[in-house]
Amino acid sequence: MNILVAKQYFHKLISAAKEYCVDGTPLPFVLGACFIDYFCKMVDGEDKKKTGYKDFVTKYMKEVREEYVTFKYANGAQDLPAQMYHVLRCGVVHSFSLIPDKKVNKQPGRDHSVALCHKAEADKKGLKHLSHYAGPRNLDAALFVIEDFLDDLLAVNELIYNKAVNDSTLRGKIEGWLRVSPCLQPDAE
């Protein structure tokens, strides 16, 4: 798969994930965390584990929405990229929970440091994507509104490929990762 086909394919997948938002399911959050996981490996040309994920958020997601790096928790921590890795990626993807497993909890992941909602709920309550959220349980969380999060992923998908057009090193890493670890897709495509 070449990089233009990959760009179009990810656009299609992220757009398809948006279709699941209407019924309030948490599945688009799982998909969003997985998309970031694949994107970070793609731009690095290798799997740099948690470092690659956090660096991707800091470098690329920040260009789409600054709050990914400027968000400050009520406790003073300014570590949303780490919380996205430990809670959103590890917690949601591996445990289907916003409470990271004990292994992750020994790292900088904090229970419920990320809160999830859909746009309809956010609009009713006057909530905004990547704003501080305490909610009824007095959390110290960054609020993720899935429709806005997926829009950010669509924008970062464009950003990656626009950068790759003029950066042969980045393009080589992307093409290399696409060969080593091809995108999940049905056999019919």
Summarised one tens digit per residue, pLDDT across range 45-97 is: 999 999 999 999 999 999 999 999 999 999 999 999 999 999 989 888 888 88
Structure confidence by residue, pLDDT tens digits, 112-132: 899 999 999 999 999 999 999
Residue 147 lies in a domain: yes
pLDDT at 176 over 90: yes
- The answer to whether 115 and 105 are in contact (CB under 8 A) is no
Residue 20 lies in a domain: yes
At residue 180, what are phi and psi to the nearest 5 degrees?
Answer: -70, -40
Q: What is the mean pLDDT of residues 152-163?
A: 97
Contact between 86 and 108 under an 8 Å Cβ cutoff? The reply is yes
User: What percent of the chain clears pLDDT 70, i.e. is strictly above it?
Assistant: 94
The pLDDT of residue 92 is 84
Residue 102 domain boundaries:
3-180
Per DSSP bridges, beta strands 132-133 and 141-145 are antiparallel
Mean of pLDDT values over 145-171: 97
Domain count, the chain: 1
* Residue 168 within a domain: yes
For every residue of 36-89, DSSP letters joined together read HHHHHHHHHTS--HHHHHHHHIIIIIHHH-THHHH---TTS---HHHHIIIIII
For residue 165, name the pLDDT band (cuts at 50, 70, 90): very high
Helix/strand number for the chain, H first, E second: 11, 3
23 or 175, greater pLDDT: 175
Residue 100 has pLDDT above 80, yes or no: no
Residue 181's φ and ψ, nearest 5 degrees, are -135, 75
Q: What is the mean pLDDT of residues 6-21?
A: 94
Q: Decide if 187 is inside a domain.
A: no
What pLDDT, on a 0 to 100 scale, did the predictor assign at position 188? Answer: 42
- pLDDT, one tens digit per residue, over 34-45 is 999 999 999 999
157 in a domain, yes or no?
A: yes
DSSP codes, 10-35: HHHHHHHHHHGGGGT-SHHHHHHHHH
**Within a domain: residue 188?**
no
Residue 62 lies in a domain: yes
- Confidence tier at 187 by pLDDT (50, 70, 90): low
Cβ–Cβ < 8 Å for 159, 63: yes
Mean pLDDT of the chain: 91
Residue 102 has pLDDT above 80, yes or no: no
Is 101 contained in some domain? Answer: yes
